[in-house]
Amino acid sequence: MVHFFLRKVASMAKKAYLCEQFILNLIENIKIMAKVYQANEIKNIALIGGSGSGKTTLMESMLFESGVIKRRGSVEAQTTVSDYFPVEKEYGYSVFPTICNIEFGGKKLNIIDCAGSDDFCGGTVTALNVVDTAVIALTANGGVEVGTQNNFRLAENAQKPIVFVINKCDHENANMERTMESLKEYFGKKVVTIQYPLNPGAGFNAAIDVLKNKMLVWKAEGGTPEMKDIPAEEQARVEELKSSLQELAAEANEELMEKFFDQGTLSEEETIAGLESVFAGGGFYPVICTSGLKDMGVRRLMDFLGEMAPSVATAPKPKTQEGKEVEPNATAATSLFIFKTSIEPHIGEVNYFKVMQGTVHGGDDMQNMDRGSKERISQLYSVAGANRVPVDEVVAGDIAATVKLKDTRTGNTLNAKDCDLTYPAIQYPDPKFRRAIRPENEADSEKLSALLTRMHEEDPTWIIEQSKELRQTIVSGQGEFHLRTLKWRLENNDKMMVKFEEPKIPYRETITKAARADYRHKKQSGGSGQFGEVHLIVEPYEEGVPVKEVYKFGNQEYRISVKDTQEIPLEWGGKLILINSIVGGAIDARFIPAILKGLMDRMEQGPLTGSYARDVRVIIYDGKMHPVDSNEISFRLAGRNAFAEAFRNAAPKVLEPIYEVEVLVPGELMGDVMSDINGRRGMVLGMEAEKNFQRLKALVPLAEMSSYSTTLSSLTGGRATFTMRFKSYELVPGDVQDKLVKAYADSQKDEE
């Protein structure tokens, strides 16, 4: 492959097709291609943080300093490596996680730059599943914000070591003391200063590096700093911080502990070695300061990550679905995990993967363990955003991309022959915001469905449901902003104009008392006619409650003798229990399946709101048939109409879906949130303290949760987050049922 590119360069240069700069870029790419990194040289890192923390600009400077790009782009000019999708350029924010492979200090840093908005947290969850370190960016002027807290929770839940990067130290309102106070207030004593700015603000150009015991001074263009001695006025502070670092490093093992107590100090190498061990175990959160915009502190950040972040060889091992640990052994049978898919102009589907074990080469044949299909890896790429460099092979622990896979999806495992490893799917947060979507031109329905399926592949937190019950396509996501982005992409990228509507609520209907009905279906026209008569009883079904021997309606008793029982679990939840209590052969057994079909016809369309019915016991106790005219259609119609009449006489009620809602909210805002929950017919179950937050648990009807994410953000200034999960179906209040029944009746009149 390298020789091929050299020949290509020579040929094109000879023909004067290439400018000097392009040749230099190709040579740099060839250098990257020639290097194959081993597990102990690879560091996988997620760059996360709230919106506005400057991650994209910081990433741009990291790419520049590592030589991946020759010129830094800017968010304003829409020229950054990370935000290269049209929607990202249009809105000026990150939407998808961007993988950037860079080399620095003899290490390969695979950095995944993630979106800051909580609406796009799915990308952060994806990244944290395949990396070994989380770098959380915050600003020197804003300190700890809601995005910082949300991303910290994600990283902590994923059990990743965390580095805090205080960015924008050059901001005119930078306040380092306040920022450090907020870090320690929210994240505790584990927050440890490695580096602090000497002159934060518009004139920022110097920082004190406690670990190196030096002052770093940058020229106006940033880049490589000049190392100077620490000013005398900073010595006392540095000695105190350095002593704390060495004491922390000494906790790594007994040998360092003994030396620290004997000599009262450790060397820089010993301190780094000890801190590396403590950091990997989550023992402290180092703090580094930077200005991504001015390219100051960026090289030191990468140097620190190269030293401190665990390599693939030392990080905790990933596990298979069966819980087996997978060693990053480059000589083992090859196994890949596909963690991200994107659809890109002029290329199509790009699959990003992590090599879990073994070594993958271009041209390798693989088996998709999830779909049972075969794939060929046509080409491998080292990537930095939209920039892709062909490589010959990728070894265990590394992250790369491939294209033109036929039948592989996000979350799939690709294995070489004789390898049976399979990895668990990434667990994404439950959706919080839902809307019905339809094309403006109904003829485009099928095309829209295909586009939505494709978009789910790119962002698995866009959930698509084709609801037969509601007769709507429901899209769910992490918030209004999240779905608005989906709509923008459909309309601008795919020229598919769509409309969002309020989704219908999947109500259910049931009965609350026993009732009886009979119906005779009789039709005669010319030859053979139709005849079927069904007598039945309906009653609410509850698990464990037996059938009564005698039912009384009015002055008449009906004795039941159970001949046969069928229990039918319903697709939409609940059950239908059918009991055959016919005596004397009044209805032949061969007509019972037809009667059941008639019952199911009405179970799929309840009389109150047209919703699915559930939890009903039906007892067929009598009927009549005709030796010539009785047939299946006759008994299906007789059963359906008898059931409909009995259902209406059995005090039917509407059930609504109830969701278990958990809100994580700052304590001082709890009152506003509780008041809003109560106004949504919610029932608060309790609350418990969680660091600086309160976790409120409540049961809330789904009908009241429309746009809750927007309301909660408004109430709390974006400082609260929530999850919601289906709990059960419960009876709606009488006044709500009256409104629903009236609305359904009016809609039926309109259709007539």
Q: Which spans in 539-613 are helix H? A: 592-603
The C-alpha angle with vertex 219 and arms to 215 and 220, in degrees rounded to 5, equals 135
User: Do 64 and 213 belong to one domain?
Assistant: yes
Q: Are 635 and 689 in a shared domain?
A: no
- Tokens encoding 594: 């037809």
Eight-class DSSP state of 311: P
Q: Give, rounded to a whole angstrom, the gap between the first and last alpha carbons of the chain.
A: 71
Would you call 114 exposed, middle or buried from its count of C-beta atoms within 10 A (0-12, 13-18, 19+)? buried
Per-residue pLDDT, averaged over 303-311, amounts to 95
The predicted pLDDT at position 661 comes to 96
CB-based contacts of 188: which residues, under 8 Å, 6+ apart?
none
Give the side-chain half-sphere CA count within 13 A for 393: 16
Look at residue 348 and tell me whether its pLDDT is greater than 90: no
Do 165 and 298 lie in one domain? The reply is yes
Residue 635 near residue 591, CB atoms below 8 Å: yes
CA nearest 245: which of 276, 200, 280?
276
Are residues 247 and 368 located together in one domain of the fold?
no
Rounded-to-integer distance, Cα 733 and Cα 731, Å: 7
Looking at residue 688, its amino acid is E
Secondary structure string (H, E, C) spanning 523-540: ECCCCCCEEEEEEEEEEE
Q: Where do runs of H (alpha helix) occur along 251-382?
A: 254-263, 268-280, 298-308
Same domain, 401 and 457: no
Selection from 703, 714, 709, 726 nearest residue 121 by Cα = 709
Structural domain ending residue among the three candidates 383, 415, 447:
415
Distance CA 295, CA 562 (A): 82
Residue 297 Rama label (left phi>0; alpha psi -120 to 50; beta): left
User: Residue 185: CB partners within 8 Å, gap ≥ 6?
Assistant: 144, 692
Same domain flag for 473 and 562: no
Identify the CA nearest to 337 among candidates 321, 316, 314.
Answer: 321
Record the tokens describing residue 44, joined without a space. Answer: 């996988």
Select the more confidently predicted residue: 238 or 14. 238
Q: Is the pLDDT of residue 692 over 90?
A: no
Sign of the torsion angle spanned by Cα atoms 362, 363, 369, 370: positive
Which CATH number fits the domain that encloses residue 709? 3.30.70.240
Which amino acid belongs to residue 245?
Answer: L
| Structural domain contains residue 233 | yes
Burial degree of 358 (CB within 10 A; 0-12, 13-18, 19+): buried
What would the pLDDT profile of 45-96 be if each residue is shown by its tens digit? Answer: 999 999 999 999 999 999 999 999 999 999 889 999 998 888 898 888 899 9
Domain housing 498: 433-504
pLDDT score of 503 more than 70:
yes
User: 752 lies in a domain?
Assistant: no
Of 336, 284, 343, 332, residue with least CA distance to 308: 284
Q: pLDDT tens for residues 59-72?
A: 999 999 999 999 99
pLDDT tens sequence across 256-289: 888 888 888 888 888 888 999 999 999 999 999 9
Asked if residue 579 and residue 451 are part of one domain, the reply reads no
- Quote the tokens at residue 619: 């007892």
Helix (H) or strand (E) holding 58: helix 55-65
Q: How confident is the model at residue 33 (pLDDT cuts 50, 70, 90)?
A: very low
Is the pLDDT at 9 greater than 60? The verdict is no
Q: Cα 458 from chain centroid?
A: 11
> Cα angle at 202 between 200 and 204, to 5 degrees?
45
Q: Give backbone dihedrals phi and psi of 476, rounded to 5 degrees, phi first.
A: -125, 150
User: Average pLDDT in the 179-207 region?
Assistant: 95
Q: Which one of 601, 626, 651 terminates a domain?
A: 651
Q: What pLDDT score was predicted for residue 259?
A: 86
pLDDT of residue 752: 55
pLDDT bin (cut points 50, 70, 90) of residue 528 is confident
Read off φ and ψ for residue 60, nearest 5 degrees. -60, -45
Whole-number Å distance between alpha carbons of 597 and 166:
66
| Confidence band for 742, pLDDT divided at 50, 70 and 90 | very high
Taking the C-alpha atoms of residue 471 and residue 111, their distance in angstroms, rounded to an integer, is 43
Pairwise CA distance, residues 601 & 609, whole Å: 15
| Sequential DSSP letters for 724-739 | EEEEEEEEPPHHHHHH
- Residue 32 falls inside a structural domain: no
State phi, psi for 283 to the nearest 5 degrees.
-75, -20
- Do residues 173 and 141 make contact, with C-beta atoms less than 8 angstroms apart? yes
Query: What's the confidence (pLDDT) of residue 31?
Result: 47
Contacts for 623 with CB less than 8 Å, ≥ 6 apart: 518, 532, 533, 534, 535, 582, 586, 587, 638
Task: Examine residue 746 and state whether it is found in any structural domain, yes or no.
Answer: no
Q: Which of 651, 677, 706 is the last residue of a domain?
A: 651
Whether residues 147 and 277 share a domain: the answer is yes
Q: Contact 607/652 with Cβ under 8 angstroms?
A: yes
Does 718 fall in a domain? yes
The reply to whether 194 falls in a domain is yes
pLDDT value at residue 18:
42
160 and 304 share one domain: yes
Q: Are residues 722 and 622 in the same domain?
A: no
Q: Is 488 helix (H, G, I), strand (E, B) or coil?
A: helix
Question: Same domain for 148 and 260?
Answer: yes
Query: Would you list the DSSP string of 497-559?
Result: -EEEEPPPP--EEE-SS-EEEEEEEEE--SSS-EEEEEEEEEEE--TTPPPPSEEEETTEEEE
625-627-630-632 Cα dihedral, nearest 10 degrees = 100
In a domain, 16, yes or no: no
Instruction: Say what the pLDDT of residue 16 is.
Output: 43
Structure tokens at 585: 């052969």
* Domain count within the chain: 5
Least confident of 113-117, 160-164, 526-530: 526-530
Q: 602 near 645, Cβ under 8 Å?
A: no
Q: What CATH number has the domain bearing residue 189?
A: 3.40.50.300
Residue 319 inside a domain? The answer is: no
3-state secondary structure of 351: strand
**What is the per-residue pLDDT for 666?**
87
Within 10 Å of residue 578's Cβ, how many Cβ atoms? 22
Is 517 found in the same domain as 488?
no
- In whole angstroms, how large is the CA radius of gyration of the chain? 33
pLDDT bracket for residue 751 (50, 70, 90): low
Question: What pLDDT was estimated at residue 15?
Answer: 43
Q: Say how far apart CA 702 and CA 323 lie, in whole Å.
A: 36
Q: pLDDT averaged over the chain?
A: 91
pLDDT at 12: 47
DSSP state, residue 395: E
H, E, C per residue of 214-281: EEEECCCCCCCCEEECCCHHHHHHHHHHHHHHHHHHHCCCHHHHHHHHHHCCCCHHHHHHHHHHHHHC
Cβ(526)–Cβ(600) below 8 Å: no
